[in-house]
Amino acid sequence: METLIIALFVLGYLAITLEHTLKLDKLIPALAMMALMWAIISLAHLPVFDVNTELKELEPTHIDEILLHHLGKTAEIIIFLLGAMTIVEIIDYFNGFFTIKNFIKTRSKKGLLWIFGLLAFILSAIIDNLTATIVLITILQKVIHDRETRLWFAGLIIICANAGGAWSPIGDVTTTMLWIGDKVTTVKLISYVLLPSLLCFVVPVGIASLLPAFQGDLPEIQENEQIETHKHGATILYLGLSAIVFVPIFKTLTHLPPYVGMMLSLAVVATFAEIFSKSKINITSVDEESDAHQTASPVHKSLSKIELPSILFFLGILLAVAALESLGLLFNFAEGLNQAIPNTDIVVGLLGIGSAVIDNVPLVAASMGMFSAPTDDPVWHLIAYAAGSGGSMLIIGSAAGVVAMGMEKIDFFWYLKKIAWLAFAGFLAGFVVFVLLRDFVF
């Protein structure tokens, strides 16, 4: 039966990886394999285990207990992401992100590259790499009208956004998983991963600034399209970003799970959004007739734009990996892997390169079940860096890359030829620096 469960996971994983080829949303195989895997465990009465991280051994438990445990851990991540996504959508409702465009004055291609790269690196650490990529490519389309030039900028934005998301507990879904799972703490994560991530951003941008594509100035263009801005756009931008940054501080002060702080931040941002929109605060509608006579609430609008398919995908994939973990398969696989490849750095490096080919969410979820290292062990920080930045090596290797591919219709092989080597150079530089810092400084 365990062989059947593994086969189900492999088939589901393959379907997720080939999402664009099969034209099948990845949430479908994720949910299907999760449900079928747990159904087989229940029907076959397979023994399930909980991993004792202190003793580094498996402890027998009951299926109801272990399923509820994993559902609770998954729900923490999902509720956290829902809060963060809603805050970002509220900022977008007021067109707050276009405040950033006011900071872009230069027409130098090299100067613009560094500006967009730095913005991607910083923004992705706050609002996550996927959202940062969407925001910056939207602005890029207003600033650069030549498509070939814009493709180069978009490629570098992907690298910088993924690098920026790796060192922040709220910058990437995988890093958030490690943080909420008590594998890393905010201060230690930043201490270990910030400098490697910075090099992962600086090295590719530095090399790219010497390439012909980034030489010279952009032609002066007339802005034909008027962007409708809100007078409170800048205020809600700064408020929203501050509210998200406040979440790790709240966790440190109260020792409560991160989703509690995110809900508080969402409540504050939503309150100001309602005030600024001059609409009556009414989170729930009594009936359709009364709702029709009210001014549209920014909170309602923002919640309606949340990417629920992504949320359901996380639910499916995390509980599917939890099934493998509960059977002890990941623990036993890790034991065998450590015997075959004693060097953990090589294993994590391969995981980082692998994240360019397959989704890094299940990869990190699996690694959390494979390794039994304590909180803030360097292996978790290296996993955060490798999985977060390794996806830049292929356009399909990260959520940021996939969304950029869709927005700019970037060809897979164009990216492989022009951008992949820059991403690999940055990944390798950061990886080497991480190992040196760990061995000789920390």
Both tokens assigned to 110: 């090299």
Long-range (24+ apart) CB contacts under 8 A made by 411-419 are 414/151, 415/155, 418/152, 418/155, 419/152, 419/155, 419/156, 419/158, 419/159, 419/395
Structure confidence at residue 227 (pLDDT): 53
Report if residue 24 sits inside a domain: yes
Residue 394 lies in a domain: yes
> Mean pLDDT in the chain?
84
- Euclidean distance between CA atoms 340 and 313, whole angstroms: 32
pLDDT in tens, 177-230: 899 888 999 999 999 999 999 999 999 999 999 999 898 888 765 454 445 566
Query: Does the residue 237 lie in any domain?
Result: yes
Do 419 and 382 meet the contact criterion of CB atoms below 8 Å apart?
no
- Model confidence at 309: pLDDT above 80: yes
Check residues 56 and 370 and name the one with the higher pLDDT.
370
Mean pLDDT computed over 21-32? 86
What number of H helices and E strands is found in the chain? 21, 2
The single residue listed with the structure tokens 């600033």 is 143
Return the C-alpha torsion angle 176, 181, 184, 190, nearest 10: 10
Q: Which tokens in the block code for residue 234? A: 């800048």
| Exposure letters 220-243 (e unless 16+ CB within 10 A, then b) | eeeeeeeeeebebbbebbebbbeb
For 224, phi then psi, to 5°, come to -85, -25
224, part of any domain? no
Say if 14 falls within a structural domain. yes
Across 297-316, average pLDDT: 84
Q: How far apart are CA 348 and CA 53, in angstroms?
A: 19
| pLDDT higher than 50, residue 252 | yes
Considering Cα of 299, then 300, then 305, then 308, what sign does the dihedral take? positive
- Give 161's contacts (C-beta < 8 A, 6+ positions apart): 120, 121, 123, 124, 129, 130, 132, 133, 136, 400
In a domain? residue 354: yes
Report the percent of the chain where pLDDT is more than 70. 90
3-state secondary structure 104-170: CCCCEHHHHHHHHHHHHHHHHHHHCHHHHHHHHHHHHHHHCCCHHHHHHHHHHHHHHHHHHHHCCCC
Give the whole-angstrom CA distance, residue 352 versus residue 384. 9
* Range 294-309 burial, b when 16+ CB lie within 10 A, else e: eeebbbeebbeeeeee
DSSP conformational letter for 215: -
pLDDT given for residue 283 in this prediction: 47
**Largest pairwise CA distance in the chain:** 70
Cβ contacts of residue 204 below 8 Å, gap of 6+? 156, 159, 160, 422, 423, 425, 426
Domain span at 250: 2-219+230-440
pLDDT at 363: 78
- Half-sphere exposure of 8 toward its Cβ, with a 13 Å CA cutoff? 23
What band does 159 get if pLDDT is binned at 50, 70 and 90? Answer: very high
Does residue 425 sit within a domain? yes
Total domains in the chain come to 1
Predicted local confidence at residue 57, as pLDDT = 64
The token pair that represents 262 in the structure block: 């995110």
Closest by CA to 389, choosing from 151, 172, 118, is 172
Residue at 225 is within a domain: no
Residue scoring higher pLDDT (307 or 261): 261
| b/e burial code for range 37-56 (CB count within 10 A of at least 16 → b) | bbebbeeeeeebbbbeeeee
Q: pLDDT tens, 268-301?
A: 999 999 988 864 444 444 444 444 444 568 888 8
